[in-house]
Amino acid sequence: MSGAAGRPRRVDHRHRHHERIAEVRAGKAGGAEKVGYPIRVRAAEVVRTAPLGSGLIRVTLGGPGTEGFEAHSPDEHVKLVFPDERGELRLPEPNGDMLRWPRPAPVSREYTVRRYDPVSGELDVDVALHAGGLGSDWALAAKPGDVVHVAGPPGGLIVPHDYDRYLLAGDITALPAIARWLEELPRTAAGWAFVEVADAGEEIELSAPEDVRVHWLHRGDVPPGSSDVLERAVRTVARPEGTRLYAWIAGEAGVIKPLRRWVREELGLSTEDYDITGYWKRGVADFDEDDEHEQPGHGHHEHDHGDGPAS
């Protein structure tokens, strides 16, 4: 099942999403699929914050509002809704299993769901630090008891766990998703993970399966989104003959764009066997790749500065 720009087609299974997720993950659907969940907006409380290396800060949310949160996919995301410049907080309203968003759109930023613990109700969001970014500044100033409204996730990409190899790649904005990917893959999984960071200070501990090789790529003094170190490293991967490989790549849109053709022509992957997503774009504020493909409502990470990564 596939859609525009090499993306798996999104089919609405919200009435039976748990069943559909199990089917896809077991390989019964023929490939990866975007599965939607019932979408909610929740008032969550900051429980604690903690730095993760020098490039990320983890904000742990909890309280009654996070009970019953849905978490099923490493690349799923939520929108954190903030007051506007006048201090007014405008929230989406429930509309069945969806949300109705007011116009103009509220101020929000989008982040990967790094972890949800249904026992404690804790929800982790790892925010990439970026000077002057709304989300970054919020995360740095957040203190226990602060309330933030969380919308979503609208769904996630469910990938079968029966591939022979997995290729994961991205910059620091994709690191939370890659970290979750590595935790949730079967321990028997094999493949490669490539992560572009500025330097060793931005590296974090990862729980990868034994046969998944993790490569940290140091960008050095080159500005984020302007290095080819990630593209060059990913291109060294060769798919062993006769094996099924799944590729997941995310980061700055221009950097990863050449890899779209590469996965098709060099790796020989079908559209259901890869997902390549621009999480941000140099020089573009609030970039949403889905806007470019006319697929509203399920964008990825938004940024309030176009000259740096997730904010």
Q: Are residues 222 and 242 in the same domain?
A: yes
Please say if the pLDDT value at position 263 is more than 50: yes
Same domain, residue pair 125 and 170? no
In a domain, 200, yes or no: yes
**Nearest-angstrom CA–CA distance, 195 and 230:** 7
pLDDT at 201 over 50: yes
Task: State the average pLDDT over residues 124-148.
Answer: 94
User: Predicted confidence band at 27 (pLDDT cuts at 50, 70, 90)?
Assistant: confident
Answer with the residue of higher pLDDT: 31 or 246. Answer: 246
Based on the fold, state whether residues 145 and 190 are members of the same structural domain. no
* Mean pLDDT, rounded, for 96-116: 94
Residue 292 pLDDT more than 60?
Answer: no
> According to the model, what pLDDT value does residue 233 have?
98
139-195 residue pLDDT tens: 999 999 999 999 999 999 999 999 999 999 999 999 999 999 999 999 999 999 999
Segments forming the whole domain that contains residue 102: 32-153
pLDDT at 288: 61
Assigned domain for 5 exists = no
Determine the Cα–Cα distance for residues 308 and 303; give it in Å rounded to an integer.
8
Res. 311 pLDDT band, cuts 50 70 90: very low
Among the candidates 153, 183, 204, a domain finishes at 153
Q: Residues 46, 143: one domain?
A: yes
Q: Would 193 be classed as within a structural domain?
A: yes
Instruction: Reduce the DSSP state of residue 73 to 3 states and report it.
Output: coil
Measure the CA–CA gap between 83 and 95, rounded to whole angstroms.
22
Q: What is the CATH number of the domain that holds 226?
A: 3.40.50.80
Q: Which residues are CB-contacts of 203 (< 8 A; sequence separation ≥ 6)?
A: 53, 195, 197, 216
In this structure, is residue 2 part of a structural domain? no
Residue 16 domain-assigned (yes or no): no
Percent residues over pLDDT 70 in the chain? 86
Give pLDDT, residue 291.
42
Q: 96 lies in a domain? A: yes
Band of residue 14 on the pLDDT scale cut at 50, 70, 90: low
Band the pLDDT of 133: cuts 50, 70, 90: confident
In a domain? residue 293: no
Return the number of other C-beta atoms located less than 10 Å from residue 201's C-beta. Answer: 10
The pLDDT value recorded for residue 285 is 55
- Residue 310's pLDDT is 43
Residue ranges of alpha helices (H) inside the chain are 17-25, 134-141, 175-184, 229-234, 253-265, 289-292
For residues 137 and 86, membership in a common domain is answered with yes
**CATH number, domain at 83?**
2.40.30.10
Count of domains observed in the chain: 2
DSSP 128: E
Evaluate if residue 304 carries a pLDDT over 90. Answer: no
Question: How far, in Å, are 47, 146, 172, 214 from residue 200 at the CA level?
Answer: 28, 32, 12, 14
pLDDT band at 305 (very low <50, low <70, confident <90, very high): very low
Q: Are residues 165 and 149 in the same domain?
A: no
307 pLDDT more than 50: no
- Say whether pLDDT at 293 is over 50: no
Residues 74 and 165 grouped into a single domain = no
Q: What's the mean pLDDT in 65-87?
A: 94
Answer whether residue 294 is part of any domain.
Answer: no
